[in-house]
C-alpha cells in the first residue's frame, strides 16, 4: 500500500520541455488543470499528497518520478541522463520533502545516470531499464544501493521506448501491462501479461495506487482490460504531458 505521494506543480515554461513527439506544445493552463485533477485522483486513492511549488527554470520538473527512487528502506536521488534535468535532482525542496519521510537518502554519482522512469518496482525487486537516460554505471550503482538495503535489482535492455515504464506497468497481484518490445521480453515471462495494442501503446503507462488504477484518458481498450481484472479505475487526462514525453507515472513519487 502507498501512503504518501510527492508531486510538483507544472512550470509556466512547460511548453519548453524535452520532447521526441510531434504533437504540438503543451498549453500551460490546461496542464495545470490536468495536474490538479491528477492530484485529486491520487487523493481519492487514499494517499497523502505533498505538492511542491513549480520551478520555472526547469520546464520538465513536474516529472518528479525521474529525480528520485522511493523504496521501502531509503530514497535514492538520481542523476538524470538529460543534461537539462540534472539540477532538478538537487532542488532543495525535493530533498526537504524526502527527508520528512526518510532517514536514509542515497545518491547516484557521476558518471552514472539514472532516471527513475526507467525503474519498475515489483515488491522488493527493481527492474532497471538501460536507455538513453539510464546508463550501465548508473544501473549498477542503483543495484548496489538496493542490495545494501536488502533489496534487489536487475537490468533490462531497451531498444524502442524512452523509459522502461513507457511500455510497462506493474499493477500488483502479478498483473503486468506490456506493450511493444516487452511483450516477448524473457524477464517478464512469469507475470500475468496484459498485452496492450500498438494503437493504444501510450496507455501502457498506468499506475496502481491502493487497489485503484489510474489510466490515461482516451485509451478505452486499456481501461476495459484493467477493469476486467477487478480494479477500480480512475481516468485522468494527461494529453498536455504526453506532448513532452510524460505519462501518469512520471508525475509523482509514490511510497
* 59-78 pLDDT tens trace: 999 999 999 999 999 999 99
- Alpha-helical (H) ranges within the chain are 28-44, 92-99, 136-148, 220-228, 239-242
- Of the residues 70, 74, 206, 250, only one is catalytic, namely 250
Write down the domain spans for the chain.
4-254
Q: What is the CATH number of domain 4-254?
A: 3.75.10.10
Please state, as a whole number, how many other Cβ atoms lie within 10 Å of the Cβ of residue 77. 19
Side-chain half-sphere of 37: how many Cα atoms within 13 Å?
18
pLDDT of residue 20: 76
d(CA 182, CA 165): 10
Residues paired with residue 107 on neighbouring β-strands, in sequence order: 77
CB 181 within 8 A of CB 167: yes
Q: What is the largest CA-CA distance in the chain?
A: 45
Burial class (CB in 10 A: 0-12, 13-18, 19+), 123: exposed
Burial class (CB in 10 A: 0-12, 13-18, 19+), 253: buried
- Of the residues 35, 163, 175, 206, only one is catalytic, namely 163
Kindly give the confidence (pLDDT) of every residue in the chain, 255 residues in length, as a single tens digit, with 9 standing for 90 and above.
Answer: 999 999 999 999 999 998 877 789 999 999 999 999 999 999 999 999 999 999 999 999 999 999 999 999 999 999 999 999 999 999 999 999 999 999 999 999 999 999 999 999 999 999 999 999 999 999 999 999 999 999 999 999 998 888 999 999 999 999 999 999 999 999 999 999 999 999 999 999 999 999 899 999 999 999 999 999 999 999 999 999 999 999 999 999 999
pLDDT of residue 187: 95
Concerning whether 163 is annotated as a catalytic residue, the answer is yes
Amino acid at each position: 500500500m502507498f501512503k504518501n505521494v510527492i508531486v510538483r506543480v507544472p512550470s509556466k515554461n512547460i511548453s519548453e520541455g524535452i520532447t521526441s513527439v510531434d504533437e504540438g506544445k503543451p498549453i500551460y493552463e490546461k496542464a495545470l488543470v490536468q495536474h490538479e485533477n491528477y492530484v485529486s485522483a491520487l487523493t481519492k486513492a487514499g494517499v497523502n499528497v505533498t505538492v511542491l511549488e513549480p520551478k520555472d527554470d526547469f520546464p520538465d520538473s513536474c516529472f518528479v518520478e525521474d529525480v528520485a527512487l522511493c523504496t521501502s528502506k531509503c530514497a535514492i536521488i538520481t542523476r538524470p541522463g538529460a543534461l537539462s534535468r540534472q539540477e532538478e535532482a538537487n532542488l532543495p525542496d525535493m530533498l526537504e520533502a524526502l527527508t520528512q519521510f526518510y532517514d536514509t537518502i542515497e545518491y547516484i554519482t557521476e558518471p552514472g545516470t539514472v532516471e527513475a522512469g526507467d525503474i519498475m518496482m515489483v515488491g522488493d525487486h527493481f527492474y532497471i531499464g538501460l536507455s538513453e537516460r539510464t546508463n550501465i554505471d548508473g544501473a549498477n550503482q542503483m543495484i548496489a544501493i538496493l542490495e545494501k538495503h536488502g533489496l534487489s535489482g536487475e537490468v533490462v535492455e531497451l531498444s524502442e521506448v524512452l523509459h522502461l515504464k513507457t511500455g510497462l506497468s506493474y499493477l500488483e497481484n502479478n498483473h503486468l501491462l506490456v506493450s511493444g518490445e516487452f511483450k516477448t521480453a524473457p524477464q517478464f515471462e512469469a507475470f500475468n501479461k496484459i498485452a496492450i495494442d500498438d494503437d493504444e501503446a501510450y496507455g501502457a503507462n498506468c499506475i496502481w495506487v491502493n487497489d485503484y488504477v489510474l489510466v490515461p484518458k482516451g485509451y478505452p481498450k486499456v481501461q476495459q482490460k484493467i477493469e476486467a481484472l477487478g480494479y477500480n479505475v480512475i481516468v485522468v487526462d494527461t494529453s498536455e504531458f504526453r506532448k513532452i514525453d510524460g505519462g501518469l507515472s512520471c508525475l509523482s513519487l509514490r511510497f
